[in-house]
Structure 1
């Protein structure tokens, strides 16, 4: 299990635990990692905005703040089928694994009859096969982890002329424009903000060094063919 998958699994384990919570020792046993890794993962979840906190005392452990979780939400088959179609069209692209994890959570809480109706409707929607090569998935996972954890990313990058260089970058955002995905990052080699095409990143690994955040206004406006993702109503 890679770290991104473990973080999501740990989050769901804590949700299921409810008020009882889970101790660091219990989480370490479940995920077969060290106590130090558990504490580092909990810190990453907290930095990402997940409402988990440590309860002190004899019955101590990590618990999720119930006041910060959502009540049950009802979805129609058409709504979930639309999400499934969007995820299929996005397969092989950044954060598609996270999206599929969210879809699985929705399906798991739907009534069996509604879930079957959703599956029938989704089966009538065909999309392109955008599956990425295994190496590309590993690279994409590293990029996602660096953005999530706000860590410096070590890259091996091939430019448009075929020259390969090693870079250490502070990841800022992902951009899709002109049918290409780019990692927009502060390049420590070039000492400025650069756009790295994801299909030209030959290798990527997350370092332990915290990344430097750059104000969005210093990065600039999105290109005409791009726009920010919005989650507000």
Structure 2
């Protein structure tokens, strides 16, 4: 183990010890080095900015600040898109809107090139037009079921055909097999825009009227977003500007 590897190992041992801390003797035994070497390594970590403090007295030792002992926060591409959508829906004139835009950009940067590319592909299939207000009679409508939302998300992200049971405005129920193209938020409502295999055309399905959604094992090649048409002029991009 070279010095760089040992410094990393010391930091990880301190991280695992948490608020209870650990002694130089225990670290020395764990890493099979001398106590003197451990003390030099801890000093080097402190000079590098790691918040390690020494506690004197019986039972004392080294303690890493609790904030530094927390594991790093990581996001999947889908989680990054979810947070970005929530931030994008914040109206421009509202408090923290500028900070929200900055946070969205930082979140995207933290994904790394591969994750950012996957998140960008998914985010390009989301249109938003701000918070909006649901149409009249919305009090009679129920919220989309959690299982429906999850199936729609997985179908869009995984490019899988979705089997849905849909209740139309006049109450008629139909069963469809659809290929999700994008999710659209407008007038306070979320819609699934998909190619309907049964109707052989692009259709808008209000998510609160999808009574059931089942993810199938069948994959499909996503149709271009352009097939849906141009996004509204006031649509907000989910992908942060570069």
- Name the TM tier (shorter chain): 0.3 to 0.5
Higher-RCO chain (CA-CA 8 Å, sequence separation at least 6): 2
TM-score under structure 1 length normalisation? 0.42
